[in-house]
Amino acid sequence: MSTGPGLESLVDQTISVITNDGRNIVGVLKGFDQATNIILDESHERVFSTKEGVQQLVLGLYIIRGDNISVVGELDEELDSNLDLSKLRAHPLKAVIH
């Protein structure tokens, strides 16, 4: 279906994934399927906390199972480079409760 909200347009782009357990993983989308399983390259996790700025953990090549995905956002490189992650403080996102 060409009009549906597939992830085709995001392939090879940097995306920000929010998982059902509240994690935020940023990486380059390399592949996906019907079930929203996705392959992320050069990925890292952004860990939010109220005590210190955002920590980045290197993860590398990752596959995330679709069941565990909440949101896939297109990361706007310009907006992102203007963000000072070391100054951002927030509670981690809550887990999804179905």
Partner 1 sequence: MLFFSYFKDLVGREVTVELKNDLAIRGTLHSVDQYLNIKLENTRVVDQDKYPHMLSVRNCFIRGSVVRYVQLPPEGVDVELLHDATRREARGG
Q: How far is the CB of 63 from partner 1 (least distance, A)?
A: 16
3-state DSSP assignment of residue 11: coil
Q: How far is the CB of 41 from partner 1 (least distance, A)?
A: 18
Is 51 one of the binding residues for partner 1 (CB under 8 A)? Answer: no
Restricting to residues 6-45, which ones interact with partner 1 according to CB under 8 A? Answer: 6-7, 10, 16, 18, 20, 22, 24, 36
Cα separation, 31 vs 13, whole angstroms: 11
Q: Is 12 exposed, middle or buried (0-12, 13-18, 19+ CB in 10 A)?
A: exposed
Is 98 one of the binding residues for partner 1 (CB under 8 A)? Answer: yes
Residue that the structure tokens 């070391």 belong to = 86
The tokens describing 23, both together, are: 């994690």
Amino acid at 93: L
Q: Which residues bind partner 1 (CB under 8 A)?
A: 1, 3-7, 10, 16, 18, 20, 22, 24, 36, 46, 48, 66-67, 69-76, 79-80, 83, 88, 90-91, 93-98
